[in-house]
Amino acid sequence: MRIFSGIQPTGAKHLGNYIGAIRQYVATQEQGDAFFCIVDLHSITVEYDPSELRESTLSLAALLFAAGLDPERSTVFVQSHVPAHPEAAWLLGSVTSFGELRRMTQFKDKADAQEFVSAGLFSYPVLQAADILLYRTDIVPIGEDQRQHVELARDVAERFNARFGETLTIPKAVFPEVGARIMDLQEPERKMSTTGGTAQGTVLVLDPPDTIRKKFKTAVTDSGREVVRSPEKPGISNLIEIMAVARAEEPEAVEAHYDGQGYGAFKVDVGEAVVELFDPIRDAYEELRGDETELQRLLARGAEKARKASEPVLQEMYDRMGFVKAKTGRLFGAARPKRL
Ligand code: AQP
């Protein structure tokens, strides 16, 4: 089975990214041939600082390995190292409609928050479709917020196949059973996010332990004192899901454990559980980030494997679409016309 997912290097990675995506990557790498892509080309679609992109790309690579991605098992690579991605995106743009892109909720949300709305932000899902389809991907582990983009990738692949002949594999999105949408601790009606959330309600994987404890201690809860999940209790429901993941328990077991204990003690314990979850990751991260040569070596090896896997799919797309194949230099030499 082929597994693919992408994650942006810009914006510090948070508990939502960890539970919705990174933890799933680590689990799914056991199930097949996995490709995980640091999507730096996606990061430039909103305002960003070029002087920080290099550091955030290497930092994310270190974090992915620290969280448990095994370079012997998974192919971890940087999107801009594999030119097939933007090339395939251009081809797929011809089978993606303007109307489809206009309906993407992430575009609408992010466009509302920007003064300058780039064309790249609008066509972002086409590049994402290319990322996924180039690897003949079967499953895409993601958080709930990316569901619409993978549905678009499926529609685009089906349209390509219908128009040019069976070429692309139709991917399926997979979501974690618990924690597919981790909410902001201060405003639990919105998802945890470094761009759209609150600083105090966003728990970063690399936050110092005391910062994590404080963020949970001050998390907004709801009226009442029962530790149970309910649509009227978005804050407590979110904390129960986080606790279930951090302690590797079912949410029901968390509810039963805290029955009658009130919110205060529960919030302190969730904070401690997340500190324990992130402690070993932070330690491994520090070590890996210190060895830049090794990180670069791993990413170069990943890029080579990714190029090998994606190139034949890109060539097949060109062939199906009727492009003239470029001739090699040797053939040109043989056919060179005589000088007059
Ligand atoms: N709150 C979340 N809960 C569960 N999963 C989440 N993901 C993101 N937020 C949550 C998942 O993380 C993966 C990587 O996403 P990304 O790198 O594209 O990050 P993002 O979605 O841009 O991160 P942010 O900080 O949430 O930024 P905004 O709000 O700007 O998009 C994806 O699989 C995503 O589902």
Q: What is the pLDDT of residues 7-50, one digit of tens each?
A: 999 989 999 999 999 999 999 999 999 999 999 999 999 999 99
Q: Please indicate, yes or no, whether residues 44 and 144 belong to a single structural domain of this protein.
A: yes
Q: What predicted TM-score, i.e. pTM, was given to this entire model? A: 0.94
Give the residue from 81, 21, 127, 33 showing the smallest Cα distance to 118: 127
**H/E element, 75:** strand 74-78
Instruction: Specify the CATH number for the domain of residue 277.
Output: 1.10.240.10
**Per-residue confidence at 328, pLDDT binned at 50, 70, 90?**
confident
Q: Please indicate, yes or no, whether residues 269 and 238 belong to a single structural domain of this protein.
A: yes
**Per-residue confidence at 326, pLDDT binned at 50, 70, 90?**
confident
Q: Which atom of ligand 1 is nearest to the CA of 42?
A: 18
Q: Six-digit token pair at 33?
A: 């041939």
Average per-residue pLDDT for the chain: 95
- Number of independent structural domains in the chain: 2
**pLDDT single digits (tens) 123-146:** 999 999 999 999 999 999 999 999
Checking if the pLDDT of 201 tops 60, the result is: yes
Q: How far is the CA of 224 from the centre of ligand 1 (A)?
A: 31
3-state secondary structure of 142: coil
Instruction: Specify the CATH number for the domain of residue 132.
Output: 3.40.50.620
**Per-residue confidence at 330, pLDDT binned at 50, 70, 90?**
low
Q: Please indicate, yes or no, whether residues 77 and 161 belong to a single structural domain of this protein.
A: yes
Q: Please indicate, yes or no, whether residues 7 and 81 belong to a single structural domain of this protein.
A: yes
Helix pair angle (292-321, 263-289), 10° resolution: 90
The whole-number pLDDT of residue 60 equals: 98
Q: How far is the CA of 130 from the centre of ligand 1 (A)?
A: 19
Q: Please indicate, yes or no, whether residues 40 and 118 belong to a single structural domain of this protein.
A: yes
Q: Could you give the CA distance from residue 293 to residue 311 in angstroms, rounded to a whole number?
A: 27
CA distances from 219 to 82, 142, 187, 266, 267 (A): 41, 25, 9, 11, 8
Strand partners, 174: 141
**pLDDT single digits (tens) 242-282:** 999 999 999 999 999 999 898 999 999 999 999 999 999 99
The whole-number pLDDT of residue 222 equals: 86
Q: Please indicate, yes or no, whether residues 88 and 124 belong to a single structural domain of this protein.
A: yes
Which residues, 6+ apart, have CB-to-CB distance to 196 below 8 Å? 109, 113, 190
Q: Please indicate, yes or no, whether residues 86 and 99 belong to a single structural domain of this protein.
A: yes
Domain that holds residue 283: 209-288
Checking if the pLDDT of 331 tops 70, the result is: no
Q: Six-digit token pair at 87?
A: 């090339």
CB 140 within 8 A of CB 173: yes
Query: Which of 193, 194, 198, 205 is the pocket-test mutation for ligand 1 (most atoms within 8 Å of CB)?
Result: 193
The set of protein residues with a Cβ atom below 6 angstroms from ligand 1 is 7-8, 11, 14, 16-17, 19-21, 142-143, 145-146, 180-182, 191-196
- DSSP conformation class of 79: G
Which residue owns the Cα nearest ligand 1 atom 14? 7
Q: Please indicate, yes or no, whether residues 52 and 149 belong to a single structural domain of this protein.
A: yes
